[in-house]
Structure 1
């Protein structure tokens, strides 16, 4: 587990963020950044309240219809 602990320490210390900033600075200085082709990435984050599951009706679906009179 030493490698995971070290990775967590570096992450908490901001090592990866600083490395990213330094690399971007050097690429900008060398005019080597080309954003004409860019890729957007995302993270999957667990919904703490469960979220909606496929096949599970929403709470408003299938309930009694409200009276309009």
Structure 2
């Protein structure tokens, strides 16, 4: 991510023995993004599996996460 929000939030959460979970993407550039937790509603055979959500803008400051291309 282009901003320093993850670092700043993790520093504040450290006092509570907590940190943000990150998703790492292996593309042309190695990036990490805060994980947006999702869960599967209906479970069982033949049911669609839950998908992951990766933000394109920082959820804290609104800056675009990465340049296109």
User: How would you bin the TM-score normalised by the shorter chain?
Assistant: under 0.3
Q: Answer 1 or 2: higher relative contact order, Cα 8 Å, separation at least 6.
A: 2
TM-score w.r.t. structure 1 length?
Answer: 0.27
Richer in strand (by share): 2
TM-score w.r.t. structure 2 length?
Answer: 0.27
Structure with higher Rg: it is: 1
